[in-house]
């Protein structure tokens, strides 16, 4: 987890419009009217939620080249069938969490064993046939009992999983929103908060722009100059999906993205956090937030309560409208991998994907959601605990444990009366953060199979012993290949600092965000905060 705060405030915008956010998105005027470029140049245009609720049709805006080609191809194949078919086809899912309520309904209870009084009397037939019948019915009963036992065990597992998810949701709902001023001045971990935010901004700055934008601006970096405003290429703004958006702490960072954002969709299972994210967006909209672009250029935002790792996202209207490919993942169709499926340019998940690693099913569901939502060439960016760090801590713990045991054995020390041998568990940390494994851990620190390795995480002021799961990096990377996601970048937090601190834009940004001491140029973090920061790494995958 991560303690969050706002990013730097380059220029407060002038309030010119004041539409608030409604339940599922802004009640503002048409999204396209807020853009720099002509609305006709828009690649995709999600409908506004209210009208979408009335009208189940696919988005009516101009389709992307990819989508147009896909539709043309479909139309050719079917002799010009309606476009709606294409839309619904794309929305189909093979995902494990996509069962309809009917699919998930438990099977009907067993038939009563004794026949009803109305049933015709069965003839008694002693001998082979009857015995075979009895044996058969015993076998059937046994199979049914086995099935019932399996169902019960499945239900118990489900309830354990639900227990953890509910706990996590309640925890994040209960974290107070203390305001920017407090986070910047009073917080005991303000250095770490600012640093984490700078890393997230760095990822957004480096990897959110698309190839075309980078090709045009890579050499000049004109876009980074606050005074000149957004460049003309913004007639192709980004569509962004944030999985585990929390209280909307990254909205300001997205407003500062080099390539403007057109639509931001924030999802999180914590309903109170989602309310707070909506409020935050409402403040930005009314001009009380901060950002390089004035509020009339603020992106459209939609927020929804959603478990993004346990459930398929294709049942959310806004996701359907922007585009999700139900065929992404292992065995997906050639068409799907060719045209890339989804409608989002960027999927981001900051400090959240470790919750998916509870089970393989959830991890795969998360990856189907990510890959299904991304267009070809889209980016999946995020930060999470670094399993290399966990591996080295766990193996160091076992080394020390073995040394102690060897010393004990050498001294032939028998436990004294009343002395209890402690069941040792791996744990480490300092005053501001702590990781504790409640169960046994692998001696070499290599987590196999890669799912379900639970630990609890404590972070001062932010997280109270919340259950999280190890994300064994190599296993994760191997799995992403099944979903057409190709690793482009992976770096531990402190290495990102070393690499980017003198960058023309990211260096000064770190000063504005209070990450670097303006006089000495050193990181404004205590040693303990640095240690806590080193628990994380950042990544970027491309959808290929």
Binding-site entries for mRNA: 196-197
Q: How many CB atoms lie within 10 A of CB 15?
A: 14
Which segment (47-55, 144-152, 262-270, 525-533) binds ligand SAM by CB under 6 A?
262-270
Among 195, 207, 355, 437, which residue sits at the site for ligand SAM (rule: CB under 6 A)? 355
Q: How far apart are CA 58 and CA 83, in angstroms?
A: 8
Q: How far apart are CA 297 and CA 285, in angstroms?
A: 9
Among 34, 45, 172, 471, which residue sits at the site for ligand SAM (rule: CB under 6 A)? 172
Token reading at 96: 């494990």
Q: Interface with ligand SAM includes 308 (CB under 6 A)?
A: yes
Which segment (96-104, 132-140, 306-314, 473-481) binds ligand SAM by CB under 6 A?
306-314
Give the chain's end-to-end CA distance (angstroms, integer).
Answer: 29
Strand 300-305 and strand 261-268: the pairing is parallel
Closest residue by Cα to residue 304 from 326, 273, 283, 325: 273
Q: Interface with ligand SAM includes 1 (CB under 6 A)?
A: yes
Contact partners, residue 250, CB within 8 Å, separation at least 6: 4, 200, 204, 242, 348, 350
Q: How far apart are CA 378 and CA 543, in angstroms?
A: 5
Among 239, 350, 370, 532, which residue sits at the site for ligand SAM (rule: CB under 6 A)? 350
Query: x/- binding map, residues 224-243, to ligand SAM, per CB under 6 A?
Result: -------------------x
**What are the angstrom distances between the C-alpha of 458 and each of 104, 135, 171, 519, 527?**
36, 57, 12, 33, 17
Query: x/- binding map, residues 241-260, to ligand SAM, per CB under 6 A?
Result: --xxxx--xx----------
Residue 1 or 538: the one with the smaller Cβ distance to ligand SAM is 1
Q: Least distance in Å: CB of 430 to ligand SAM?
A: 19
Token reading at 362: 């959830």
Among 21, 86, 265, 270, which residue sits at the site for ligand SAM (rule: CB under 6 A)? 270
SS (H, E, C) 259-281: CCEEEEEEEECCHHHHHHHHHHH
Q: Least distance in Å: CB of 451 to ligand SAM?
A: 14
Which segment (50-58, 166-174, 322-330, 441-449) binds ligand SAM by CB under 6 A?
166-174
Q: Interface with ligand SAM includes 4 (CB under 6 A)?
A: yes
Residue 43 or 280: the one with the smaller Cβ distance to ligand SAM is 280
Whether the bond into 224 is cis, omega within 30 of 0: no
Q: How far apart are CA 533 and CA 537, in angstroms?
A: 9
Token reading at 47: 């409908």
Residue 195 or 309: the one with the smaller Cβ distance to ligand SAM is 309
Which residues define the annotated binding site? Answer: 196-197
Residue 291 or 310: the one with the smaller Cβ distance to ligand SAM is 310
Q: Interface with ligand SAM includes 269 (CB under 6 A)?
A: yes
Q: How far apart are CA 236 and CA 210, in angstroms?
A: 9
Among 47, 177, 307, 505, which residue sits at the site for ligand SAM (rule: CB under 6 A)? 307
Residue 31 or 97: the one with the smaller Cβ distance to ligand SAM is 97
Phi/psi at 399 (5° precision) = -60, -50
Q: How far apart are CA 417 and CA 255, in angstroms?
A: 65
Q: How far apart are CA 478 and CA 106, in angstroms?
A: 35
Residue 299 or 457: the one with the smaller Cβ distance to ligand SAM is 457
Q: Least distance in Å: CB of 168 to ligand SAM?
A: 5
Q: Interface with ligand SAM includes 309 (CB under 6 A)?
A: yes
Closest residue by Cα to residue 228 from 305, 287, 299, 292: 292
For ligand SAM, how many residues bind (rule: CB under 6 A)?
24
Which segment (22-30, 43-51, 105-113, 349-357) binds ligand SAM by CB under 6 A?
349-357
Q: Interface with ligand SAM includes 273 (CB under 6 A)?
A: yes
8 Å CB contact between 435 and 386: no
Q: Least distance in Å: CB of 159 to ligand SAM?
A: 16
Q: Least distance in Å: CB of 338 to ligand SAM?
A: 29
Q: Least distance in Å: CB of 239 to ligand SAM?
A: 18
8 Å CB contact between 472 and 454: no
Q: Which residues bind ligand SAM (CB under 6 A)?
A: 1-2, 4, 168-169, 172, 243-246, 249-250, 268-270, 273, 307-310, 350-352, 355
């Amino acid at each position: 987890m991560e303690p969050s705060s706002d990013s730097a405030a380059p220029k407060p915008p002038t309030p010119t419009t004041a539409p608030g956010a409604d339940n599922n998105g802004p009640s503002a005027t048409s999204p396209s009217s807020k853009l720099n470029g002509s609305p006709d140049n828009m690649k995709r245009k999600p409908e506004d939620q209210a009208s979408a609720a009335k009208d189940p049709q696919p988005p009516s805006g101009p389709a992307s080249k990819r989508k147009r080609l896909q539709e043309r191809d479909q139309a050719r194949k079917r002799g010009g069938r309606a476009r709606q078919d294409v839309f619904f086809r794309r929305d189909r899912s093979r995902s494990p969490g996509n069962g309809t309520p009917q699919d998930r309904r438990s099977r009907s209870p067993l038939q009563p064993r004794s026949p009803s009084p109305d049933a015709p009397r069965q003839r008694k037939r002693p001998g082979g046939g009857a015995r075979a019948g009895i044996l058969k019915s015993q076998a059937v009963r046994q199979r049914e009992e086995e099935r019932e036992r399996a169902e019960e065990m499945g239900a118990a597992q489900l309830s354990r999983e639900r227990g953890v998810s509910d706990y996590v949701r309640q925890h994040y709902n209960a974290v107070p929103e203390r305001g920017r001023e407090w986070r910047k001045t009073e917080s005991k971990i303000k250095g770490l908060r600012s640093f984490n935010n700078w890393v997230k901004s760095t990822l957004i700055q480096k990897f959110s722009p698309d190839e075309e934008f980078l090709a045009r601006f890579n050499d000049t970096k004109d876009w980074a100059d606050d005074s000149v405003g957004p460049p003309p290429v913004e007639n192709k703004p980004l569509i962004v999906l944030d999985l585990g958006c929390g209280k909307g702490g990254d909205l300001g960072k997205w407003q500062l993205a080099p390539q403007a954002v057109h639509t931001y969709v924030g999802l999180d299972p914590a309903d109170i956090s989602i309310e707070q994210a909506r409020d935050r967006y409402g403040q930005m909209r009314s001009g009380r937030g901060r950002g390089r672009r004035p509020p009339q250029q603020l992106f459209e935002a939609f927020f929804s309560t959603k478990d993004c790792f346990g459930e398929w996202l294709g049942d959310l209207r806004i996701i359907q409208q922007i585009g999700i490919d139900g065929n992404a993942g292992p065995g997906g169709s050639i068409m799907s991998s060719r045209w890339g499926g989804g409608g989002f340019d960027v999927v981001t998940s900051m400090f959240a994907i470790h919750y998916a690693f509870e089970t393989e099913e959830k991890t795969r569901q998360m990856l189907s959601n990510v890959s299904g939502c991304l267009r070809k060439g889209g980016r999946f960016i995020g930060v999470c605990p670094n399993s290399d760090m966990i591996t080295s801590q766990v193996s160091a713990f076992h080394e020390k444990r073995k040394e102690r045991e060897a010393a004990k054995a050498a001294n032939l020390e028998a436990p004294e009366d009343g002395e209890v041998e402690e069941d040792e568990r791996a744990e480490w940390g300092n005053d501001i953060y702590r990781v504790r494994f409640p169960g046994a851990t692998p001696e070499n620190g290599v987590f196999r199979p890669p799912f379900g390795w639970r630990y609890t995480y404590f972070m001062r002021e932010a997280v109270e012993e919340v259950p999280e799961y190890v994300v064994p990096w190599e296993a994760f990377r191997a799995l992403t290949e099944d979903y057409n996601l190709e690793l482009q970048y992976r770096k531990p937090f402190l290495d990102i600092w070393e690499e980017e601190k003198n960058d023309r834009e990211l260096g000064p940004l770190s000063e504005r965000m209070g990450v670097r001491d303006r006089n000495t140029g050193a990181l404004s973090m205590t040693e303990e905060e640095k240690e806590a920061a080193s628990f994380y790494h950042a990544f970027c995958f491309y959808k290929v």
